Amino acid sequence: MLQCRRWIWVLVVSGFAGWVPAAVAGATGNQRPSTIRVVRSVLQSNGSTAARDKALQVLTERANKGNDFAQFTLGSLYQWGQRDPDSPVHRDLVKASLYLANAATHGAYAPLAMAAMAEINLLRDKPLQATIWAQMYAYYGRVADGRIGGYAAELLNRCFQVLPKGSMSEVRNGVRNLQALYGKRIRAGVKMYNSLNEAGGMHLRTATKDLKMSRPMTYAELPVAGIALYIVAFGPDGRVQKTWQINAMPRWQLGRQLRHNVRSFEAVGGQANTDGLRYATVPVIFYDGRFAAKRPASKQPY
């Protein structure tokens, strides 16, 4: 039996006047440095083809053996393909779904993988599956990090717009089935997420809470909300040396616009790897306050 109560999340549209973007960032600490170095080699666009192919093979082997970070990263690579100019693979939403669906059922990156699965199923014109994954993300994402509500609500809104009428009972059943099969594993991963920012003794701090874009963007270009994930390498002085974008939703371009905000972080504590750097995975959350997700007043469980 599951230890958590489960809810269908509903969309609330809040008042909106003007555009006041904001970002909240968190970090997973000195997480899986060996796998992070493998990913770094995969994304090293100026590296040799042989070295990148070898790194991709190692990443695939680790994903196939159940490494949640490898599954999430490899799925993200296939989700976007060469929309990411550093990616060595072409877009393949079938392969992306395979790895991200596995990542969504365990480990610290499960909530982000749920969101990715919802986005992929929207692209594949599968609104029922997209809504199921969006509901999962709305619940578990908020448990992991309460600041994701804006993107969760916007994602649900897009799902509801294409979901056939009368399908909510199927959505409920789909969420129930996933939680019955994987609920304990997912919650264990969420607990892992909540403790990762102190993993290895590393803490990240930033002097700014306001989001800045790398270039001016028109209103039409901006998504209502989104999230981007980066690998960040910190030097001996704690300052950012290099960043690699792993995923961004709902559009890859959002991550490119937010990327320079990550450079405001400093790493405190933690142990350096053999290359003298400390690594962290850092999510940046974007929202403009237009949407919010909340449980229905009746609090009716599934």
Question: What are the tens digits of pLDDT across the range 106-126?
Answer: 998 999 999 999 999 999 999
Q: In 104-126, which ranges are continuous DSSP H helix?
A: 110-123
pLDDT of residue 14: 31
Low-confidence ranges of the chain (pLDDT < 70): 1-33, 143-149, 193-201, 207-224, 288-302
pLDDT of residue 80: 96
pLDDT of residue 1: 27
Task: Tokens for 186, please give them.
Answer: 């997912």
pLDDT of residue 142: 74
pLDDT tens sequence across 172-218: 999 999 999 999 999 988 877 655 544 456 777 775 555 555 555 55
Residue 13 CB contacts under 8 Å (≥ 6 apart), including other chains: 290, 291
pLDDT of residue 216: 54
Residue at token pair 């994602």: 155
pLDDT of residue 16: 28
DSSP string, 245-261: EEEEES-HHHHHHHGGG
pLDDT of residue 45: 85
pLDDT of residue 99: 98
Distance (Å, whole) CA 40 – CA 34: 10
